C-alpha cells in the first residue's frame, strides 16, 4: 500500500496510550443522567436573549447531554449515529457500494437535504466536507457536513434547533441548526474504552456472522488558567471493522455473459455489502483565558484524520471490464478514502460599557484523497496498474465575525438587541488523479478508466472561490408578563449570487401557568455550494441495470450541459412556518408538540442520469467528445412542500432509591413535490426517454427517508446503577428505480421496531463498567424483491434506518478523575 494511505495506528496510537497512562486520580462526580433530555435547560441557540430555557424558547430546541450521547454513540464513537438514535427528526443513513459516500455519511433533519442544515461549534459556523456525494441515494449531489469529524468525547451538549434560522445564522439553515457546545470543565477528566461487534444470524445465507469489530478509546483532561480560565483537550482513537451482508450471486444473463468462468461463480458470495472499514484519530481543545478589564480570550478547535476502505461492484472474469491475465477469477474493487478535517476558532469577548461583544476568527478545512485498489484500467490491457489515485478534493472556509448585544429598558420590561457582521471566504478545489486512472489505452474495445470510479481528468479539475458578507440585527423582549417576541433580519451578499434578505418573527404566549403556545415564520436562503456550481467528474461503472456505462457529471458552465438545456443555478429559498404547544406539570412532566410547514423553491439537485441510445452520438456530433454514454448536471429542478409534526415528552420521578426518566419522542413529516422543471427541449431532442428530473430523483426527495420515527426511552439512575432501555420504531421507506422502457421497479420497506439497552455499574464514583447492545432482537429490513436485489447479491436495501447489519453488542469501561 502507498505510504500516504498506510494506517496511522503505529504513529498516533502510542501518543494516545501515553496520554491515558499519565491521567491523575482526583475524583469528580459523574453527571446526573436524570437531567438528560429535559426541556428546562438554558439554551443559547434559537434566540439571543439570555437565560431562556428550551421550554421558554419560541422555537423547538432539543438539548442532548454528554450522558445522552455516551449511551447512544457507543457503536464506534459516531456523533451522527448518536444524534440519529436520540432524535427522530434526524436521519443518518448508512451507505454501501456508493463510492465516496461510503466514506462520508450525510445526515438529514426533518427529511430535507443534508446541505439544508447549518452546523455550529460553540456558535461558530462549521465547514462542509470537500467530497461531493454523487453515488448515494440520500444526499445525492450534496457536500454535507461530516458529523463524524467532530469528536463525540469533546461535547458538553448539543442543541438542535428544529426551525428555519437563516435570519439569525445565515445561509443553509433551512431545516434547522445543530449547535455543538464543547466541554468546558475547568478541571478533571475522563478515560473511556469501548469494544464491540455485530453478531447476527443472516437469513439470506443461513449463517451466523460476527464482524464489524470496533475498538474506541477516548481521553480528556482540563486545568484552570488564571483563576476563571481553563484549558481542556482530548484525544480519540477509533477502529471499526467492515461488515458484509451480501447474498449468494445467481449470475443471470443480464448481469454477466453466460460463459463457463462466469457461471462457475453462481452460488458464491462475490459481492460485499455493509459498513466500510474505518480507522480514525481525533483531537480537540477548548480554552479561555481572562485578559482583565472584563475581556476573555478563547480558542477551540477539532482535528480528525480518517482512513476508510469501501467495497464496489464485482467484475466478472469474462467481461469487458476485466483482463484475465491480471484477475483470472474476476475482481472486487475497493475504494480508499483518506480524510483530514480541521476546524479552529479564536476570539475575544467581554463587556464594553453596556455592550457585550464577541470578535472572532474562524477557519475550517477538509481534504479528501480518493484512491482505488484491486481495480484496473481495462483499456491498458495487461499493462494496467491495479491501484490508482482517483483524485483529491479540498474545501477551505475562513470567516471573521463581530457580534454585539445589550439589554435596555422598554417601559417596565427589558429588551435585548443583538447586531453583528460577518465576512466569509470559501474555496473549493479538485485535483486530477493518476494518468492511468483515466487514460484511454490501446485496447479500444475495453472501457476506459479505472474500474469503480475513473480518475478525475485535467478537464474535470475545479478551482472556485467566493466571498460572502453579512449583517444582522435581532431584538427580543417580554412584551408582557406572558408574551415573548423575537424578530430578526439579515442581509447577505454573495460575490457570485448577489444580495438576499432573510427575516424571522417568533413568539411565545404563556396562556396558563406552565402552558404556552409558540409560533414562528421566516424566509430562508441557501446559495448553491461551490461544488454544485463547478464540480465535474468522468467515470466508468455499472448502472443499476448491470450495464457498464461511461458517464460524466458536468457543471452547468460546461458547453455540453448547456447544449442539453442546463441553466445557471439559482439560490434555494424557503418559507418556514411553525406552531407549537409546550407544557410543564410541576417538576415531573414536561412536553412540546410542534407542527410545521416548509416550502422550498428552486431546490438544487443532480438531474437524472441521462443515458438514452442517441446521447453518445449527439455529444460526438455536436461537441466532438467521443465515448460519453451518460451525463448528469446540477439543476434547480423542483419546488417542494414539507409538512410535519414533532412531539417530545419527559416524565421523571424518584424510584427505588434512584431517579427514573421516561422520554417519548416522535416525528412525522411528508414532502410533496409542488412543481418540476420541464425537461429542456434540447435534452428531449437527444433521444426518447430523456427526463431532467424523473421518478428516481423525485423518490429521493419524497419517500427514500422515513416519514415517521418514534422512540420511547426509560433511564433509571442511582448511585451504583444506570439502566437504559429504548424502543424505536423506524418508519417505512420506498425505493424506486427507472431502468428505462417503462421498467420502474418499486418496493416499500416496512417499518421496523428496534430494541436498545445498556446497563452501567459504578464500582466507585470514578469507575464504571457498562454492557449493552443495539437492535438486540436482530431486526432487518424487508427482503428486497428480485427486481431490486441485484441478482441476489444485495438482499437488503441500505436506505432503511434499521440498517443491514443486525444486532450489535458492546462493553465500555469509564474512569473519571
pLDDT by residue (tens digit) across 596-643?
999 999 999 999 888 877 888 888 888 988 878 889 999 999 999 999
Select the more confidently predicted residue: 380 or 743. Answer: 380
pTM score > 0.85 for this model?
yes
Residue-level pLDDT at 8: 37
| pLDDT band for position 42 (cuts 50, 70, 90) | confident
- Mean per-residue pLDDT for 216-238? 96
Query: Mean pLDDT for the chain?
Result: 91
Asked if the model's pLDDT at residue 23 lies above 70, the reply is: no
How deeply is 326 buried, as exposed, middle or buried, from its count of CB atoms within 10 A (0-12, 13-18, 19+)? middle
Q: How far is CA 664 from CA 401, 711, 756, in A?
A: 39, 6, 15
Q: Is 526 helix (H, G, I), strand (E, B) or coil?
A: strand
Asked if the model's pLDDT at residue 742 lies above 70, the reply is: yes
Q: What is the 3-state secondary structure (H, E, C) of 433-463?
A: CCHHHCCCCCCCCCCCCECCCCCCCHHHCCE
Is the CB of residue 89 less than 8 Å from the CB of residue 72?
Answer: no
- Mean per-residue pLDDT for 677-691? 82
Select the more confidently predicted residue: 662 or 77. Answer: 662
Report how far apart the first and last C-alpha atoms of the chain are (Å, whole number). Answer: 41
pLDDT by residue (tens digit) across 491-505?
999 999 999 999 999
- Mean per-residue pLDDT for 248-269? 95
Q: How far is CA 236 from CA 9, 12, 222, 233, 617, in A?
A: 12, 10, 15, 11, 53
**Highest mean pLDDT out of 95-109, 209-223, 728-742:** 209-223
Phi, psi of 479 (to 5 degrees): -65, -40
Residue-level pLDDT at 545: 56
Lowest mean pLDDT among 186-195, 200-209, 529-538, 627-636: 627-636
Lowest mean pLDDT among 192-206, 321-335, 542-556: 542-556
| pLDDT band for position 31 (cuts 50, 70, 90) | very low
Residue-level pLDDT at 546: 58
Asked if the model's pLDDT at residue 547 lies above 80, the reply is: no
Is the CB of residue 287 less than 8 Å from the CB of residue 229?
Answer: yes
Q: How many Å apart are CA 368 and CA 305, to the nearest integer?
A: 10
Residue-level pLDDT at 412: 83
Lowest mean pLDDT among 33-47, 205-219, 598-612: 33-47
Residue-level pLDDT at 541: 61
Select the more confidently predicted residue: 305 or 613. Answer: 305
How deeply is 228 buried, as exposed, middle or buried, from its count of CB atoms within 10 A (0-12, 13-18, 19+)? exposed
Q: How far is CA 502 from the centre of its chain?
A: 25
Residue-level pLDDT at 246: 97
How many CB atoms are closer than 10 A to CB 210?
12
Domains of the chain, earliest start first: 3-816 (2.40.170.20)
Residue-level pLDDT at 14: 40
Q: How many Å apart are CA 719 and CA 327, to the nearest integer?
A: 61
Asked if the model's pLDDT at residue 26 lies above 70, the reply is: no
pLDDT by residue (tens digit) across 341-394?
999 999 999 999 999 999 999 999 999 999 999 999 999 999 999 999 999 999
Cell 432503511 sits on residue: 800
| pLDDT band for position 93 (cuts 50, 70, 90) | confident
Residue-level pLDDT at 73: 62
| pLDDT band for position 74 (cuts 50, 70, 90) | low
Select the more confidently predicted residue: 85 or 550. Answer: 85
C-alpha closest to that of 454 among 549, 406, 390: 390
Contacts of residue 452, Cβ cutoff 8 Å, sequence gap at least 6: 99, 312, 313, 333, 335, 372, 375, 541
Q: How many Å apart are CA 328 and CA 322, to the nearest integer?
A: 9
Asked if the model's pLDDT at residue 767 lies above 90, the reply is: yes
Share of the chain above pLDDT 90, in %: 78
Select the more confidently predicted residue: 743 or 467. Answer: 467
Asked if the model's pLDDT at residue 471 lies above 90, the reply is: yes
Share of the chain above pLDDT 70, in %: 93
Q: Which residues, listed in sequence order, are joined to residue 550 by a DSSP beta bridge? A: 540
Select the more confidently predicted residue: 193 or 540. Answer: 193
Residue-level pLDDT at 7: 41
Residue-level pLDDT at 28: 33
CA count, 13 A, side-chain hemisphere, 183: 31
Amino acid at each position: 500500500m502507498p505510504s500516504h494511505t498506510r494506517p496511522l495506528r503505529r504513529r498516533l496510537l502510542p501518543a494516545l496510550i501515553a496520554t491515558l497512562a499519565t491521567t491523575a486520580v482526583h475524583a469528580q462526580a459523574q453527571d446526573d443522567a436524570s437531567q438528560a433530555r429535559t426541556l428546562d435547560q438554558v439554551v443559547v441557540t434559537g434566540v439571543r436573549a439570555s437565560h431562556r430555557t428550551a421550554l421558554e424558547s419560541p422555537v423547538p430546541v432539543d438539548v442532548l447531554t454528554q450522558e445522552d450521547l455516551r449511551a447512544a454513540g457507543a457503536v464506534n464513537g459516531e456523533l451522527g449515529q448518536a444524534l440519529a438514535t436520540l432524535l427522530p427528526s434526524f436521519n443518518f443513513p448508512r451507505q454501501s457500494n456508493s463510492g465516496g459516500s461510503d466514506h462520508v455519511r450525510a445526515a438529514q433533519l426533518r427529511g430535507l437535504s443534508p446541505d439544508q442544515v447549518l452546523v455550529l461549534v460553540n456558535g461558530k459556523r462549521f465547514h462542509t466536507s470537500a467530497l461531493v456525494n454523487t453515488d448515494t441515494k440520500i444526499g445525492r449531489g450534496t457536500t454535507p457536513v461530516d458529523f463524524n469529524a467532530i469528536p463525540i468525547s469533546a461535547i458538553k451538549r448539543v442543541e438542535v434547533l428544529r426551525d428555519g434560522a437563516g435570519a439569525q445564522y445565515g445561509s443553509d439553515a433551512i431545516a434547522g441548526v445543530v449547535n455543538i457546545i464543547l466541554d468546558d470543565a475547568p478541571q478533571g477528566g475522563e478515560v473511556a474504552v469501548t469494544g464491540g461487534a455485530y453478531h447476527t444470524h443472516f437469513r439470506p445465507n443461513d449463517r451466523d456472522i460476527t464482524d464489524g469489530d470496533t475498538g474506541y478509546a477516548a481521553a480528556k483532561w482540563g486545568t484552570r488558567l488564571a483563576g476563571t480560565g481553563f484549558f481542556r483537550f482530548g484525544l480519540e482513537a477509533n477502529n471499526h471493522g467492515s461488515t458484509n451482508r451480501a447474498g449468494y450471486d445467481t449470475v443471470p444473463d443480464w448481469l454477466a455473459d453466460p460463459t463457463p468462468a462466469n457461471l462457475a461463480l453462481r452460488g458464491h458470495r462475490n459481492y460485499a455489502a455493509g459498513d466500510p472499514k474505518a480507522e480514525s484519530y481525533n483531537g480537540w481543545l477548548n480554552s479561555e483565558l481572562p485578559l482583565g478589564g472584563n475581556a476573555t480570550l478563547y480558542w477551540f478547535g477539532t482535528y480528525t484524520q480518517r482512513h476508510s476502505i469501501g467495497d464496489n461492484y464485482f467484475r466478472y472474469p469474462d467481461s469487458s471490464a476485466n483482463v484475465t491475465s491480471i484477475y483470472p477469477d474476476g475482481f472486487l474493487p475497493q475504494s480508499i478514502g483518506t480524510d483530514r478535517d480541521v476546524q479552529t476558532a479564536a476570539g475575544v469577548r467581554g463587556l464594553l460599557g453596556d455592550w457585550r461583544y464577541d470578535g472572532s476568527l474562524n477557519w475550517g478545512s477538509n481534504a479528501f484523497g480518493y484512491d482505488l485498489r484491486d481495480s484496473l484500467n481495462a483499456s491498458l490491457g495487461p499493462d494496467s496498474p491495479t491501484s490508482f489515485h482517483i483524485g483529491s478534493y479540498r474545501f477551505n472556509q475562513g470567516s471573521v465575525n463581530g457580534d454585539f448585544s445589550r439589554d435596555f429598558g422598554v417601559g417596565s420590561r427589558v429588551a435585548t438587541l443583538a447586531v453583528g457582521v460577518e465576512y466569509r471566504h470559501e474555496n473549493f478545489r479538485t485535483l486530477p488523479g493518476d494518468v492511468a486512472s483515466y487514460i484511454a489505452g490501446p485496447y479500444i474495445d475495453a472501457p476506459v478508466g479505472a474500474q469503480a470510479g475513473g480518475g478525475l481528468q485535467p478537464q474535470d479539475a475545479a478551482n472556485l472561490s467566493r466571498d460572502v458578507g453579512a449583517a444582522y440585527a435581532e431584538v427580543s423582549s417580554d412584551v408582557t408578563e406572558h408574551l415573548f417576541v423575537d424578530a430578526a433580519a439579515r442581509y447577505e451578499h454573495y460575490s457570485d449570487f448577489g444580495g438576499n434578505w432573510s427575516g424571522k418573527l417568533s413568539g411565545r404566549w404563556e396562556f396558563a401557568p406552565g402552558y404556552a403556545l409558540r409560533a414562528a415564520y421566516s424566509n430562508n436562503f441557501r446559495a448553491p455550494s461551490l461544488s454544485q456550481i463547478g464540480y465535474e467528474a468522468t467515470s466508468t461503472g455499472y448502472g443499476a441495470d448491470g450495464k457498464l456505462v461511461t458517464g460524466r457529471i458536468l457543471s452547468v458552465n460546461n458547453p455540453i450541459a448547456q447544449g442539453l438545456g442546463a441553466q445557471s443555478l439559482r439560490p434555494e429559498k424557503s418559507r418556514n412556518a411553525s406552531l407549537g404547544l409546550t407544557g410543564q406539570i410541576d417538576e415531573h412532566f414536561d412536553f412540546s408538540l410542534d407542527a410545521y410547514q416548509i416550502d422550498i423553491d428552486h431546490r438544487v439537485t443532480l438531474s437524472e442520469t441521462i443515458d438514452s441510445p442517441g446521447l453518445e452520438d449527439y455529444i460526438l456530433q455536436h461537441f466532438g467528445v467521443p465515448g460519453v454514454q451518460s451525463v448528469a448536471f446540477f439543476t434547480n429542478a423542483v419546488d417542494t412542500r414539507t409538512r410535519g409534526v414533532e412531539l417530545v415528552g419527559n416524565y421523571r420521578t424518584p424510584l427505588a432509591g434512584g431517579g427514573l426518566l421516561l422520554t417519548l419522542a416522535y416525528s412525522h413529516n411528508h414532502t410533496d413535490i409542488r412543481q418540476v422543471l420541464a425537461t429542456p427541449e434540447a435534452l428531449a431532442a437527444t433521444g426518447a426517454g430523456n427526463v431532467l428530473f424523473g421518478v428516481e430523483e423525485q423518490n429521493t426527495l419524497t419517500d427514500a427517508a422515513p416519514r415517521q420515527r418514534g422512540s420511547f426511552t426509560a433511564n433509571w439512575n442511582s448511585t451504583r446503577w444506570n439502566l437504559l432501555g429504548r424502543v424505536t420504531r423506524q418508519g417505512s421507506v420506498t425505493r424506486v428505480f427507472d431502468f428505462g422502457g417503462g421498467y420502474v421497479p418499486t418496493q416499500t420497506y416496512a417499518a421496523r421496531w428496534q430494541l436498545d439497552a445498556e446497563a452501567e455499574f459504578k464500582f466507585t464514583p470514578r469507575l464504571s463498567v457498562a454492557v449493552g447492545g443495539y437492535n438486540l432482537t436482530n431486526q432487518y429490513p424487508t427482503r428486497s424483491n428480485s427486481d431490486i436485489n441485484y441478482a441476489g447479491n444485495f438482499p437488503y436495501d441500505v436506505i432503511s434506518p434499521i440498517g443491514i447489519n443486525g444486532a450489535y453488542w458492546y462493553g465500555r469501561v469509564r474512569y473519571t478523575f
